Amino acid sequence: GAVVSQHPSWVICKSGTSVKIECRSLDFQATTMFWYRQFPKQSLMLMATSNEGSKATYEQGVEKDKFLINHASLTLSTLTVTSAHPEDSSFYICSASDVYEQYFGPGTRLTVT
């Protein structure tokens, strides 16, 4: 099956700093990538939909200026958490879509101290 990678797999940062998370589709081109957030033992919440070459579409309640998404190519999307706070600590998962299904990355665990 198709493979989606995420980097880093985990990161600890200090409050007020910014963190960039990369999502790559390794063996297929994904015109659409999705960013989700998952709190412990909870479901995935869609944050934004990212289309290559255009601005991301953010879901209601997600701050565009705080969660910057760039979809520079058909195989790479990045999520930057700006001025991170402890409440941003979470598991961030990306997925990439081909015609048939969504493939999820392994996730990035962000801890903000």
Partner 1 sequence: GQQVMQIPQYQHVQEGEDFTTYCNSSTTLSNIQWYKQRPGGHPVFLIQLVKSGEVKKQKRLTFQFGEAKKNSSLHITATQTTDVGTYFCAGLFLRNNAGNMLTFGGGTRLMVKP
Q: Is 102 in the site for partner 1 (CB under 8 A)?
A: yes
Q: Is 103 in the site for partner 1 (CB under 8 A)?
A: yes
Q: Return phi, psi of residue 18, to 5°.
A: -110, 150
Q: Is 43 in the site for partner 1 (CB under 8 A)?
A: yes
Task: Kindly tell me which residue out of 93, 96, 110, 112 binds partner 1, with binding defined by CB under 8 A.
Answer: 93
| CB-based contacts of 81, cutoff 8 Å, min separation 6 | 18, 19, 21, 66, 67, 88, 92, 110
The CB density around residue 94, as the number of other CB atoms within 10 Å, is 30
Task: Kindly tell me which residue out of 47, 107, 110, 112 binds partner 1, with binding defined by CB under 8 A.
Answer: 107
Tell me the residue type at 68. Answer: L
Task: Kindly tell me which residue out of 15, 17, 29, 42 binds partner 1, with binding defined by CB under 8 A.
Answer: 42
Total residues binding partner 1 (CB under 8 A): 23
